[in-house]
Homo-oligomer: A and B are copies of this chain.
Amino acid sequence: LDYSPSEIVVCPGPKDVVFKICVTMLNPKSRRNRLVTFAPTYESFENLPILLTGKPPIVLETDAHFLPDPNQLADLLNQDDTVALIVLNSPNNPTGAVYPDSLLRELAEIIGKHEQICILSDEVYRTIIYDGIDHVSIASFLPAQTLIVGGMSKEVSGTGLRLGFVAGPEAVMGAIANVEGNTSSCVNLPTQKGYAHFLRKDTDLRLRYQIRDALYSRRETLTNRFSKLVTDAVWERPAGAFYFFPDMSFYCGHRTPKGKPINTDEALALYLIESANVVTVPGSKFQRPGHLRFSYAVGLETINLGIERMAEALDQLSA
């Protein structure tokens, strides 16, 4: 994939990029102004359409591996002419799922039949995929309708530096650049210079793959320890990103040692903070209740200690 400068817009952070895309594509006065996203989905994809158009997103379910069903999408697009933007996110936050080539090709074929629709392909975790799988963008199959969203901070562990970009067809990029020019104007200068310096050095992605490899051993530690100590959770081994998203429904419906009922993933997350000092994000924030999202972008010792403490806390729950 190759983009010229007029096909790229840079904004302060990928979340900000998503906002600028939504401002550009989701016109409150157009009939075609709805956003489609697949559950579990990132919170912004729920909030931004409501903020900008008053309408919630259309949320489609995924299968047991957190993968979209192409037929379901095809049916929706054939019946509904209000869709403007479809969000895909692989590697996925919160599940760590990576969409296979063949799935992306199928989705591209379906969406390609509806030329007015754009894909917002959130690929901020593109350099963090394990087990020898290569990242593929749906833009390889459908460049004219794909807006690739990327960011620097996940790739280089530069949390807090806030730089994101979008690459796609020139006409859409021109409109987004106009929005950006009237809003954030630009990314702060030190961040621009720092990343430019980095990109000139890491042309072969070597430094970024070192980060991936460090995350790989964390995933291994996390899933090994988890499978031994937290036996009543149901989960998939994440193929990318640095999140782990087990189904913890078993533990909901239990009671804490003090007798407080834990009925929701939110209550469970709070209990784990209070009793084990482990921070998770409840799945209901991603439209998938009963799950918890763990981030393993922390050191191995922290992962080991966290899981031990969590397992102890979960063992103390009673039915």
Q: CA A33 – CA B15 in complex, angstroms?
A: 26
Q: Which one of A16, A54, A159, A183 has the highest number of Cβ atoms from chain B below 10 Å of its Cβ? A: A183
- Say yes or no for A189: interface residue by CB 8 A criterion: yes
- Say yes or no for A188: interface residue by CB 8 A criterion: yes
Known contacts A29-B28, A54-B29; is-contact A15 B160 (Cβ 8 Å): no
Q: CA A28 – CA B187 in complex, angstroms?
A: 28
- Say yes or no for A81: interface residue by CB 8 A criterion: no
Enumerate chain B residues within 8 angstroms of A52, measured Cβ to Cβ. Answer: 23
- The interface stretch among A43-51, A96-104, A126-134, A233-241 is A43-51
Query: Do the beta carbons of A48 and B186 come within 8 Å of each other?
Result: no
Q: Which of A18-65 contact B (CB under 8 A)?
A: 19, 23, 28-29, 43-44, 47-48, 51-52, 54
Whole-angstrom distance between the Cβ of A218 and the nearest chain B Cβ: 23
Known contacts A28-B28, A29-B28, A190-B191; is-contact A184 B51 (Cβ 8 Å): no
Query: Do the beta carbons of A16 and B189 come within 8 Å of each other?
Result: no
Q: Which of B29, B54, B178, B188 contacts A160 (CB 8 A)?
A: B188
Known contacts A12-B162, A28-B28, A29-B28; is-contact A51 B179 (Cβ 8 Å): yes
Query: Do the beta carbons of B184 and A184 come within 8 Å of each other?
Result: yes
- Say yes or no for A185: interface residue by CB 8 A criterion: yes
- Say yes or no for A246: interface residue by CB 8 A criterion: no
Given A12-B12, A160-B189, A161-B190, 9 more pairs with CB closer than 8 A: A16-B183, A16-B184, A28-B29, A47-B182, A48-B183, A51-B182, A161-B188, A162-B186, A188-B190
Ordered nearest first, which 3 A-B pairs have the shortest CB separation? A160-B189, A19-B183, A28-B28
Q: Which residues of A contact B (CB under 8 A)?
A: 12-13, 15-16, 19, 23, 28-29, 43-44, 47-48, 51-52, 54, 159-162, 178-179, 182-191
